[in-house]
Amino acid sequence: MEYLNAFWVGGLICVIGQLLIDLTKLTPARIMVLYVTLGVVLGAVGMYKPLVDFAGCGATVPLSGFGWALSEGVKEAVHEKGILGIFTGGFTAGAAGTAAAVFFGYLAALLAKPKDKS
């Protein structure tokens, strides 16, 4: 059941993003910023954690999950380090995902053979 919940929640988040692309004049970059910001806001008010508990990776893998992870990192760092945690918490929470994205992007660039679109 855990896999099913992850699949349909993650799929629903992606469907909403696709509908925003197809039915509005929002650019994909603005939709990405919207998702990250929405994850931060929902995490700040305590509404994203129950979704993560229910859907697991279906809620943490999309961009809204990245925003939630940033907000959780900031909350934790503020609790431990005080006001300085506002500046360090997001970096600490997002470091592993960002490092993995850079590493695998570099690996894909080394292994792929780019071609012109013509």
* Radius of gyration from C-alpha coordinates of the chain: 17
Cβ–Cβ < 8 Å for 9, 52: no
Q: Where are the domains of the chain?
A: 2-110
The answer to whether the Cα torsion of 23, 24, 28, 31 is positive or negative is negative
DSSP string of 12-61, one letter each residue: HHHHHHHHHHHHSS--HHHHHHHHHHHHHHHHHTT-HHHHHHHHTHHHHS
Cβ–Cβ < 8 Å for 70, 85: no
- Tens-of-pLDDT digits for all 118 residues of the chain? 889 999 999 999 999 999 999 999 999 999 999 999 999 999 888 899 999 999 998 998 888 888 888 888 888 899 998 988 888 888 888 888 889 889 999 999 999 888 877 6
